[in-house]
Structure 1
Amino acid sequence: MRLGVIADVHGNLPALEAVLASLAGLSVDAVVNLGDCASGPLWPAETVRLLRASEMSHVRGNHDRALGAASPEELGASDSFAWRDLDAEARNWLAALPFEIEIGKARCFHASPTDDETYLLDEVEGGRLVAACPEAVETLLGVTGHAVVLCGHSHQPRLLRLGNGTIAVNPGSVGNPAYHATYPSLHVSESGAPHARFAVVTMADAVEIEHHAVAYDWNHAARRAEENGRADWAHALRSGWMPRSR
């Protein structure tokens, strides 16, 4: 089985379109979306419409869960923008997505099996995300009989083979290559390039992983962020880095 894996679209419609076009030429049998579909100052409603119209499976991200709020008043800027752009039916669809699913030999969730905000393959060190040690990943995963574990959330493309042979994969972010966060402590995630990321996982006698970085019109996405008052997003979209002045 060849499985296309996407995550963390964050309302970036042109990035998603480029990734789906690339996947169409890669002979995948199915596609899974690991969540955080709409949050951000870009095209939340249009992105959700495309995701729902595409033939793929979905799990719920922490920002998808947040968009199930009754009002946007307690939400952060990116979630609040998406909440107002989406209609109630779309918000409810996002909030009702499953926390975890299985596809073939793969276990799929947004962040970790414990909750949707705990990094699995990353940890904070010196205010930046770095690759987590295998022992920490194994402790967080617990006993699993799956050949493959798929997660997103950190926006960092990762690949790790654990001691029991399980392969853990983060495809990276389709639509948001860098961000600042405060949980579990203040830190930055930066991919270092503006490309839209995804992965293809081939599950046969052996497991093979392909990480892909697709070019798209990120200047168009950055202009959209600027129009909506988010210069920080615009900088990240153009460069894969957060502004150094912050």
Structure 2
Amino acid sequence: MRKQYAIISDIHGNSLALLAVLKDIKARNIDTIINLGDHFFGALEPESVAQILRENPMLCISGNTDREILENADKEGMERVQSELSSTSKQWLQTLPGTATCDGVFFACHGTPVSDDDYLLEQVKPEGVFVYPDEELIKRTAPIKERIILCGHSHVNRVIYLSNDKVILNPGSVGLPAYLGNGEHYFAMESMSPHAKYAIVSVDGEAVSIEQVLCAYNWHQASANARNNGNEKWAHYLLHGRMPKSLKPA
């Protein structure tokens, strides 16, 4: 029997984008939603997103910024998120697992199966961001028995079919279409459009179909909200889905 699933990730406090995605999912009569984490952190509306999530049942896991909220991490913008999130919302974060499985078909993680702060699909090098080759991805996912492996964290929507017949899916970010990374290397993650992104997976026996969905919403308002909250970088990311030239890695 054919069943459809909606896969969302990386809302990052963007209530306008989340509402648009949930409206689209409802219009398609999809009942099962898998949410890959990073719910609240950012320059937008963390508590509004928390209320929306409480009103819409779904399978949720924790992302790196969810963990960092609980750890009171020293991170730019964290103080505002901490002050706006209710104790109920923080308690909800404490209930979230780091990984999950669903219907014997999906394995869900935020970053990788063993780390919420690493990328499963992408390798960051001095020259830029590259997708790991097939053999490396097979090695990285070897312990997973489920056929469809879900990940987020990079905010870039990708579908990677492996030669062992498994599929790795990143649905992209609902709420933040680009960001600047500053780990070992200086790098940009860009989805190249301002749309709110999610994915639909249709499973019919052994047949798996995947649709990447780009939802229009009022990203001009989201950008203005970020600017009003003092974050000019986020205002640009939300409006364009890419870096301003002034921030591009050399």
Instruction: Tell me the TM-score normalized by structure 1.
Output: 0.94
State the partner residue of 2:51.
Answer: 49
Q: CA RMSD in A?
A: 1.4
1:127 Cα deviation from its structure 2 partner: 5.5
Kindly indicate whether the alpha-carbon contact (under 8 Å) linking 1:3 and 1:202 is maintained by their aligned counterparts in 2.
yes
State the partner residue of 1:208.
Answer: 209
State the partner residue of 2:83.
Answer: 84
- Higher mean C-alpha displacement, 54-63 vs 93-102: 93-102
State the one-letter code of the partner of 2:216: A
State the partner residue of 1:107.
Answer: 107
State the one-letter code of the partner of 2:83: R
Q: Deviations over 1:96-131 (max 9, x none)?
A: 310111111111111110110110111214454332
Q: Deviations over 1:131-166 (max 9, x none)?
A: 222222122112322111111000010111112111
Question: What SS does the corresponding residue of 1:202 show, helix, strand or coil?
Answer: strand
2:228 matched to 1:227?
yes
- Higher mean C-alpha displacement, 119-128 vs 90-99: 119-128
2:172 matched to 1:158?
no
1:184 Cα deviation from its structure 2 partner: 4.7
| Separation in 2, partners of 1:79, 1:3 | 32
| Separation in 2, partners of 1:15, 1:117 | 23
- Higher mean C-alpha displacement, 92-101 vs 192-201: 92-101
Question: What SS does the corresponding residue of 1:123 show, helix, strand or coil?
Answer: strand
State the partner residue of 1:18.
Answer: 20
Kindly indicate whether the alpha-carbon contact (under 8 Å) linking 2:149 and 2:168 is maintained by their aligned counterparts in 1.
yes
Q: Deviations over 1:66-106 (max 9, x none)?
A: 1112x4xx421233321121022312321431011111111
**What pairs with 1:52-71 in structure 2 (closer than 5 Å)?**
52-69=54-71, 71=72
| Separation in 2, partners of 1:21, 1:28 | 11
| Shift in alpha-carbon separation, 1:162–1:50, aligned structure 2, 3 A | same
Kindly indicate whether the alpha-carbon contact (under 8 Å) linking 2:138 and 2:164 is maintained by their aligned counterparts in 1.
no
- Higher mean C-alpha displacement, 84-93 vs 228-237: 84-93
| Separation in 2, partners of 1:11, 1:182 | 21
1:13 Cα deviation from its structure 2 partner: 0.3
Kindly indicate whether the alpha-carbon contact (under 8 Å) linking 1:68 and 1:92 is maintained by their aligned counterparts in 2.
no
Q: Percent sequence identity over matched residues?
A: 34
Aligned length: 243
1:203 Cα deviation from its structure 2 partner: 1.7
Q: Deviations over 1:25-82 (max 9, x none)?
A: 123230011000000010000001101210211000000001112x4xx421233321
- Higher mean C-alpha displacement, 116-125 vs 180-189: 180-189
Kindly indicate whether the alpha-carbon contact (under 8 Å) linking 1:3 and 1:32 is maintained by their aligned counterparts in 2.
yes
| Separation in 1, partners of 2:170, 2:101 | 16
- Higher mean C-alpha displacement, 129-138 vs 101-110: 129-138
Q: Which ranges of structure 2 fall in alignment gaps of 5 or more residues?
A: none
| Separation in 2, partners of 1:97, 1:183 | 26
| Separation in 2, partners of 1:127, 1:211 | 28
